[in-house]
Structure 1
């Protein structure tokens, strides 16, 4: 039986997983002291318990209020008096006692027996919390500590977190990028032969993994044009505004198919090659095929000329060198490209960071689409997929899988959606990272079975996250605006129980290059000069970061 000093109230109403309690009149302070340790009373997010014989029922405090009534006595007319302090609790788990000690119980998630009105409500002790948040008998990674008890570590379930996808949501400055870096650090330290691909749109993660990552930037990025599917080729060579131009699509389709079949020393039988088969072809052959099919009458050749003009424009643009390969450099090097991209073998670098900051904005969607599709297709056709699972981390996910149909590039959105919906079966995990969850595709986010929500002040974003969370913890969304930096609410398959946690702090030299610019400090002294400006101009022109 718990000590009376831990008793703070009694149950007065039970409604599904939610319980209403009344605090005792003696509760007039924020703390109770037990075994020389202070325990807060009624703090939102704190854990309480209800004893029912050999069963301990645990819940999270989600709200606290005081009800006041007008006095009817004549001598106190016009005054108000406190009648009761109400505490609202979300039940999340139960413990079956196995002994007389505080921590001698077997904890399990979910409720089989509900409390009865009148039963006492107690503060959960540190020993009981230690038992609730104990490291499970499954593979885990340690990422932080319980926010209400700093000494209690938080372990996330590795297979459930990675295999069933997760999302990291939080406003700018909430510690989102550091949380991503910490999770990846924890994963690769525990599992040094990981295969993680990180899409980095702002070039901020290179300094966080100086020795463990293969950095691929626009100067080393190679996505050959022949790796694109017909749909992606249409996006590149015709453009979004021309998708309805069926004639141009047919011209391009026939030309690409013939170019693939006509490539010398083709690795597979010609009759098995389709327009989407990832075998090489030369742009020169593509142009020749389009010219060969061009009618002699100029009025009927307009569609052909548009495609040829677009190809010529792209070839002349230095920014597209990573995509449009010269004819003399086209070779069947797909296996080498995938080996570097997926780190097979890892060679001590289990992480690939793809810097997208220098990729032209009008082709970045094509690049992301090809990368996502290639990751899924590789796993799909890999008979040893269970031995080499892949994991994709997509920063600024709302850019590539937006909620709005009009704003999205459909191949990219479909590629991410396919990983989200089918990746689990083929050994492809997905992490979505965004500061604007309300702009992210709801169907894709719904496939993330673990939600890591950091501070979030936008009401629209909070409403969106509330819909994505299980019913039993939706009310905890109200605490998001008050979370501290690095503090997060973690719910879902990746954690044994919902937890409000504080991520471990990362050393300064291992943090992403995403810290806020210190205006007040920078503007105290003169730093710039004309030489610096000339250097920036030169880097700009040479496309060097």
Structure 2
């Protein structure tokens, strides 16, 4: 008598692909086993192939005539009762392992996987695992992921807008940082979240520290000191692309100022003989600008150019240039300067404009991290690192919603450079990457990790995904357009959380990046429910369709759909367009009047 779980028999084996002829005795698509109903032959369902003392496990990737082995030329043998199975792992004695040690034989039995089987795989809570949701096919079975492999092997959360992507990320981070009960599972967890739209501050309020360009609701100001960023990228942003004959003297002047600042402050760990223009030592951009503009506009009263024609000294602190009379015509006084001229008046005008533009204050005038004209700062690099990754909360949210788009890729590249360089060089220190690993979560990654053009952020993330595993820096890439994300970055992600993806180009991009050849499973991405994900890769014991645990409404990201019907059905009221304009000008969506009758110029 056949077992009630019998699904079929192995008909062909080709590598990890097994063709199964469905058992004729199964008359419908539902089997009742142990009082529970199971759908038979569903794409994405698991199967079990007994092999004596251990069982092989696979996942159904194709069903029907297309799953028939090509070698079957006899029309009588072809038909719709075939399935393609991808082998994914095995249970030896009592523990489940990815990969297989032997292949099934022809006519071996193939069985439906029951909840008892799933409990053997997912039911054991080994150390270092995090519960993130429930199996979609059996919601009594929790889905756990391996935290160590999630961090060290990198991951990607991919899904169309509205698929529950932001909520999934918030749920994942809550599971790691304190679960959904408020108990801290990993009290020394260290997660940095780059929040492009400002969605997560409220959702993760009790487990995170929020840094914003425009502080509000208890958040702190975000500062990214320019002197700690990649110097070539900084100069290009501030002055445009320069020729080598102009760039080299500028870098030399920056190095000179950094050496002078070190001589005064004696920064720990700095060797003056190996210091470069890229070393994270404070220097004054105002002073650099003033010293570079002077030779460009200088004139002399004598032809030998020994007597300066300066009328006023100017002031580097206020970015006021020195004043000189314009050169005379022909050989008449005053005479044009010809020493130290780099021909960069236009780039210096751009530098001054950037320094005066208040929207870049978070970077060019970074509060206590802004150097004075001598390069002295109130707060140094240790205070910055402690502010970002050294506080008592497991998550740091850098809210980048107020950042100008023109500087986004350079800013993200600068932030990642600061974090990675500190954890890389300090990898053997107690707070370095190896002894206290760091996870960096990048929301809306397609905005700054695209394939085209020069992108400092993309280059930095490529380095992290290639080398970060060895130095304790993990990446989680979050995007609604995986087809626009750099190929190298996605190919290095070991775990994928694939939510609903409607676009065929995006689906094919995910399919080409997956570590398991599960085309049939990926084809089900368009029909996933909101908040449902297919989890594939190293952190998952098996490729699995999971219902991610939803946080309470109050702890969800502010990314939900607006209530269109309710809003449009309400009676029309007089609009407050003065407040609307003030919110735009203040770059603060929660702008309020300073007093009840204080007019429309709020803070």
Is TM-score (shorter-chain normalized) higher than 0.5?
yes
1:84/1:294 CA distance change after superposition, 3 Å = closer
Equivalent of residue 203 in structure 1, options 198, 215, 225: 198
Whichever of the two has the greater Rg, that structure is 2
1:275/1:439 CA distance change after superposition, 3 Å = same
Aligned to 1:95: 91
Alignment of 1:191 with 2:174, yes or no, is no
CA contact (8 A) 2:47 2:113 kept: yes
1:134/1:311 CA distance change after superposition, 3 Å = same
1:358 aligned counterpart, secondary structure: coil
| CA drift at 1:205 | 0.5
Aligned to 2:529: 484
Equivalents in 2 of 1:67, 1:463: separation in Å? Answer: 19
Aligned to 1:316: 356
CA contact (8 A) 1:56 1:94 kept: yes
2:542 aligned counterpart, secondary structure: coil
Equivalents in 2 of 1:120, 1:273: separation in Å? Answer: 68
| CA drift at 1:509 | 0.4
Aligned to 1:288: 290
CA contact (8 A) 1:214 1:351 kept: yes
Equivalent of residue 400 in structure 1, options 448, 451, 457: 448
Equivalents in 2 of 1:51, 1:477: separation in Å? Answer: 27
Aligned to 1:101: none
Equivalent of residue 175 in structure 1, options 143, 151, 164: 164
| CA drift at 1:388 | 2.3
CA contact (8 A) 2:228 2:280 kept: yes
What are the residue-to-residue correspondences of 1:59-78 with 2, within 5 Å? 59-66=58-65
1:136/1:316 CA distance change after superposition, 3 Å = same
What are the residue-to-residue correspondences of 1:85-124 with 2, within 5 Å? 85-96=81-92, 98=93, 105-124=94-113
Equivalent of residue 384 in structure 2, options 313, 334, 337: 337
Equivalent of residue 133 in structure 2, options 105, 126, 144: 144
Equivalents in 2 of 1:311, 1:284: separation in Å? Answer: 9
| CA drift at 1:55 | 3.4
What are the residue-to-residue correspondences of 1:427-438 with 2, within 5 Å? 427-438=472-483
2:55 aligned counterpart, secondary structure: strand
1:149 aligned counterpart, secondary structure: coil
Deviations 1:185-227 (A, max 9, x none): 0111111222111000000001111222111111311122222
| CA drift at 1:181 | 0.3
2:140 aligned counterpart, secondary structure: strand
Equivalents in 1 of 2:493, 2:358: separation in Å? Answer: 39
1:111 aligned counterpart, secondary structure: coil
1:328/1:257 CA distance change after superposition, 3 Å = closer
Equivalents in 1 of 2:506, 2:198: separation in Å? Answer: 25
Equivalent of residue 511 in structure 1, options 531, 556, 561: 556
| CA drift at 1:504 | 0.9
Q: 216-225 or 435-444, which moves further after superposition?
A: 216-225
| CA drift at 1:276 | 0.9
CA contact (8 A) 1:451 1:469 kept: yes
Aligned to 1:56: 55
Aligned to 1:77: none
| CA drift at 1:66 | 4.7
| CA drift at 1:436 | 0.7
* Structure showing the higher strand proportion among its residues: 1
1:81/1:7 CA distance change after superposition, 3 Å = closer
CA contact (8 A) 2:154 2:495 kept: yes
Aligned to 2:73: none
What are the residue-to-residue correspondences of 1:381-420 with 2, within 5 Å? 381-382=425-426, 383-384=428-429, 385=432, 386-404=434-452, 406=453, 408-409=454-455, 411-420=456-465
Equivalents in 1 of 2:273, 2:49: separation in Å? Answer: 71
Aligned to 2:317: none
1:186/1:28 CA distance change after superposition, 3 Å = same
Q: TM-score, normalised by structure 2?
A: 0.81
Equivalent of residue 249 in structure 1, options 247, 250, 263: 247
Q: 520-529 or 186-195, which moves further after superposition?
A: 520-529
1:437/1:51 CA distance change after superposition, 3 Å = same
Aligned to 1:353: 397
CA contact (8 A) 2:230 2:417 kept: no
Alignment of 1:154 with 2:149, yes or no, is no
1:316/1:249 CA distance change after superposition, 3 Å = same
1:150 aligned counterpart, secondary structure: coil
Equivalents in 2 of 1:517, 1:182: separation in Å? Answer: 21
Aligned to 2:327: none
| CA drift at 1:49 | 1.7
CA RMSD of superposed structures (Å): 2.6
What are the residue-to-residue correspondences of 1:207-222 with 2, within 5 Å? 207-219=202-214, 220-222=221-223
- Segments of 5+ residues of structure 2 without an aligned counterpart are 68-75, 179-184, 215-220, 299-335, 590-603
Q: TM-score, normalised by structure 1?
A: 0.89
Q: 356-365 or 245-254, which moves further after superposition?
A: 245-254
CA contact (8 A) 1:255 1:290 kept: no
Aligned to 1:41: 40
- Segments of 5+ residues of structure 1 without an aligned counterpart are 69-79, 99-104
* Structure showing the higher helix proportion among its residues: 1
Equivalents in 2 of 1:322, 1:527: separation in Å? Answer: 40
Equivalents in 2 of 1:109, 1:136: separation in Å? Answer: 16
1:287/1:490 CA distance change after superposition, 3 Å = same
